[in-house]
Each structure stands twice: as structure tokens, then as C-alpha cells.
Structure 1
């Protein structure tokens, strides 16, 4: 046995009593349980937070492509949000499915006073239950399913419209950016030309008229730049509204490419796709079926509940002290009920069917018109690119060469330059028309953007 002095003695902890061990284990288990419960809550909250952050970031996005804008349109455009809210409101009617067949119990009290003898008085108590034998719950269920289908078709139509609206706003913004770039290029050329003419005038190589013409061209170019900036701000505001972006965002879009027709789509295919894929005719058809089901529901609701009760009665005379019995009652008639409301529902159903036929014809005409507009717009754009603009640029280059050689005056050069910039602006108009025709075709066939 080894001895230790007082400074080396280490106290040995004593074993806790059983009650303390139980309390400690309980506290430890409670802590583990709290941690286990809290962890899933935090994990489940993370996707919602990330989703909110993604949506907020999307609303503050500045650089957009046509694909990204179309994706944003079908998810967050105002009309799409409103249509999805309508779908949610339609789904709220599903609560009608939970209405029980047996209703809340009822209690009735009856007191009949004896006349002239009070001993003839009769007192009764009725306790019963109402039963719904009309089938209104199943009628509500069928109508609600059709209402949800109708609202979903309307939401699909709203997404198609929102996609076309955003694409049109995208094209306007892209064209506005290009027009501003062309105007700024014209201003740069006009500024350089004005400086060159003034330098030549100082050495008597240009007339006062040349200086005035160059100054006029510079002023026109500056005014055009100011106007193009105004138009650009308006296009940005329209694009922000279409995508529900934050008001302080200054969106920019990528330049537009060629606006050819969708792959594999000709006139006959466009008409067929419009008839098959557009949601507007299907929405009218769904509404017609809903009104027919509404007629069934109105008939079911007009049938009264079956009241089944247990009755107890007491009389004041000495012959009959008490009596028990069962009662049942139901309103009549059962057949010719809710005639007015049901007739209106049938009329609305016939109206929706007729609107469906008209909508189907309309979307086919829209597809054909959009296809024709796209073809003519592309032809117009091709002629400007291959013939008019190319010839005007050659004429401008030749005029500048002749001006340098002293064979023509500045007036001819300025006219040739204005013709080039006018054709560039006309080309942008033709490009916008071609893209708007492409957008109209995509909207008519209910398609998506490539």
C-alpha cells in the first residue's frame, strides 16, 4: 500500500444516489429529444428560405435572355399569379366533400294546454337526427372537380398569354437598345464630321453652308439620342411590369437573333397545333360540363333532409300517462324543384359550348394570320438586309470617297448618311415586326420558346 501526503490526495467522487441518476438521465433524454425535434424543423425551413431568396433575386435580376424571361413569365407574371390564386380558390371548395350525411341532432319541445280542463294538457319532447338522402355531397364533389379542371385550363391560357406578353416586351426592349446604339453611332459620326468640317473651314477648305449643315446634322443626332433614351426607359418600365420586377431594376436584354418560324411548323401544322393545344376552347368545354353538374347539384340541394326523431309524450289525464314513439318527416315535392336555377344552369352550359366552338375557330384563324404575317415580315427584313441597306451603304461609301476627292459637296454625303441611318431604323422596325409575328404564332399554337 502506497502512502500519499496530504497535498497528493485526490478526492474520489462518490457514486450518485439512484434518484439523482434517474433525474440526470431524464434531463439528458429531454435534451436529446429537443435536439431531434428541432433539427427537422430547421432543415424543413431551409428550402422555403432558399426559395424566397431565389424569388427575391429573380425580381432584382438585370440581365435577361428570352428563355429566362419566358420561364419567369410562366412562373411569376402577375396574370399567372392571379390565375393560380383562382385555382387555389377552386380547391378550397373541396371542403364540401367532408360534409357528413348525418347532420347535427335537434331537440324539440311541445306543450299543449288543456281547454277547458287542464287535465287534458299534453307535453312532448322530440330528439332526432337529420339525414341527407339527396346525394348533394357527391354532386358537390363532381362539380368541384370540374371547377378545378376549368380553373387549371384558365391558368394554362393565362400562362400562354403572359409568355407572349413578356416576349413582346422583351422584343420592344431589345429594339429600343439597338435603336439607341444606332442613334449614338450616328451622333459619334456627326460629331466627328462637324469637327472635321470646322477644321477645314478654318483653312478655307469648307464653306459656311457646310459648317451649318454639319451643325444641323449634329443637332438632329443629339435630339434622336435623347428621344431613344426616353423610349428605352418606357420599354424598361413595360418589361418590369410584365415580369413583376422590382421598381428600381434597370433591365437589359440580349440582342435579338433571327426570327424564323419554329422548327417543323408550317401553315397546316400551325392550325392543327392551335386547335389541339390552346386552352381557351377546353376552358369553355370544362365550364359547360361544370354548369351541367351544377344543375344536378341544385336539384340535390332542393331536396329537404329526412328528419328521424324519437318522441316522448306525457298527458295530464289519468288514462294515458306517457307514450313513446318514432317520427320521420321530409319535405315535398321531390321532383319539380329549383326549376328556375336549373334552367339558368342549362342555358349557361349551352352558351359555354357555343363559346368553345367559336374559340376553336378563332385560334385557328389566329394561327393562320400569324403564320402569314411572319412570312411577309421575314421577306421584308430580307429585302432590307440584302438589297436596300447594302445599296445605301455602298452609296454612302462612294459619296465619302467623292467628297474626299472634291467631286461632290457635303450635302450629298449627309443625304447618303441619313438614308443609311433611316434604313437601319427601318430594318429594326422590320425585325421587331418579324419577332412580334413569331410571338403571335407561338401564342396561337400555345407553344414554348426555344
Structure 2
């Protein structure tokens, strides 16, 4: 077996395997997203200057993506050793143009399967070059972060912010504010995408993006700081036998985060799109939903409950299946960067979704756009359904909330549309890629 790289319209040897994020529309061959960039990296590249600096930044970010897919890459590498068929990993860019497939060739195939490396078709044969580097490659494998059994987290702050291109601006801004306020918080980005937060060596836990925003915000306010982290609370001196006036307590923080509001032409565009796909929607399979219709973008997720004991089934949805959905996905990236699934939901007048916690397949933290119709959204902040707080959502409201807390929508008076954005847990994504590997 020999592994080559090429582009779709170029010369192909053996079996063709697509490693672009979105294969050509007429593509009928195998698709391996394991070696594809993320939608966020692809969008970043399209908006960049595409100069040498941008290329180096792209390669750095893509290297982190490969590191995060460690387990699956190991499985793929092991499988190729028994594969008798030549394969060509393909993308769109012509030979010689900047493309992530060269990085896949260099940082995966040449390093870990040097004896199978055939190089980019149409250039100098690199197979012998790869073989000469076998001993050096194998020596490096022991210390390579890609195949380290315990990948180290990527530090976000030492004394100055670094890696700003890979972190949401809101996170960076809050960390800078914490440092300016005298709280030099340390945030490490874990391979799973969560943030490990510490302060003066004290572990403050692992948090999703939504969670870390709350933690960093709380660090800057004395009232919340003392309640989130007792070690940072400022003790109030007690004066015996002297009555102290009772200070008014500040209002409790909202259990939802109001991110933005869609208005005017932007909101009208989303409303029109929702109406246009209504005929393609299907009844919700959720046992908590009452007469709701839904449609899935990016991935279909079977909504298995924790009580059922069943594992959720995750399936990729082919890009372009729903015309115009790219506008929805672009909004989702602003509200919940790197989201894995969007749910477009239609509530006919008089329907509801009962109080529930989202499927175990979902990671903590979700975002929602209330596209059309008014709704009363209720949520608990302590897992106690007796202590729910309610918020009215108006048309265009964009919110974030903890979807692992009990929450629900009361019966709506008129028709209501919304779009929810979720991230999946790492094990669900590994299951998805595992099925893809079985095809290659």
C-alpha cells in the first residue's frame, strides 16, 4: 500500500478519499473528516490575508486540531498497516497551492507511516526520502505531542495573552480584565475544548466556554467572587454589641445570558428561511415536547434520555442539504463558537416543552435564537425544579444558558420559531469518527 495526496481534478492513484471539510457536490467516494479543518478554521482562512503569516497561523491551528483527534488518528494509522489498496487523500487546491493536505502528509503519514508515504502526485517522489527518515521519525514519535498518552493543555496566559486567534474574544477580554483587576487567572485550553481555570495555584475547575465566561465575570465582582470561591471572600469584621445596619442585597444574576438581539432585515431573513423549510421538518421525538416540529443542521442526534440508558446516535448531515442554512450556521458560530448541532424548532400555538435537562449526548452550555413569537422560558440554577426562574423571550432575542439545568418553555399563545445550538460530548464525536473510519 502507498498513501498519496492530490486534488480532485488532478491525477489519482488507487482509491480516492476526500479530506476536505465539504467534498464536491457530485462526490460519490469516501469522505474522511478526521483530516479536515473545522468550519471555524476554514472561515477564518477565507477572511484572512492568505499571506505567509496567515499560512503559519493556519498550520498552527490545524496542528492543534490534529492533536485533539489523537485517539482516532491512532486508530486510522493502525488500520492502514493492513490495507493492501493504494489511497489518495484529496482536497480542492491544485498541486503547489497552500493546502492542509500537505500538513496531513507531513505530520501524520510521513511521521507514523513513512514506509507507506508516496508524496504529492505530480511532484518529486518522496517515498524514498520518507524511508530514509524512518529512524529519526520513530525516535521523534516517542516525544511527539500528537501521540503523547496525556496531551498537555495549551496555556492561554503566562504573563501576556497568547494564542488569541484560537480563543473566543469574549474569553480573552474577560481574562485581561481579571488580570487588570489584580486576579491573574490562568486558563488552559484542554484537548476536549473545555477550559481549566486556576488562580494562585488554586484549581477552580474545568469549564465549558459558557461556564468559563461566568467564572471570569464572577471573579471581578466582590459579591459573586466570595460566593464562587470562598477563599477569595473578604471577611467582614464583627463589632460586638453594636447593631449593624442591614445592607440591601444585590439582585441575583440572571440564569440566562442575553447575548444580542436580531432586528430589522437580519431578523426578517431568518424568519423567512424558517418558514421556507417548514415542509421538511418532522415531529419531535423528545418525550418532553408537545406537538413540536424540528429540523437538524450539521448533525442528527437521537435524543436518548439519561433514564433510558441508551447511547445517543449521532449522524453527520451532508452540507448543503438545506438551502440557505449557512446563514443560520454563521449566526450559531457567533453565539456558540464550534457548535456541533443546530435544532430548528417550530412550536404551534398552544404547545410547550416540559421542564427537562438536555440529552447526555450534549455538553454543558447552549445558545438559542427566539426567531418568532413570544415565549416564557423557565430555568433552575440549582437542579431544583421547585426553584425555577422565568424570563420572557421576545422576537430576535439571543441567549445562552446551562442546558444541564432543568428548563422548559410554557405553552405558547401564538406560533413560535427558535433555533438552538449545542456542542456534543467528546465521546459522541469519537463514536461518529469511529464509524467514518470503518469506511476507510
Q: Structure 1 length normalisation: TM-score?
A: 0.21
Q: Structure 2 length normalisation: TM-score?
A: 0.21
Structure with bigger RCO (C-alpha 8 Å, 6+ apart): 1
Larger helix proportion, structure 1 or 2? 1
Task: Give the greater-gyration-radius structure (CA).
Answer: 1
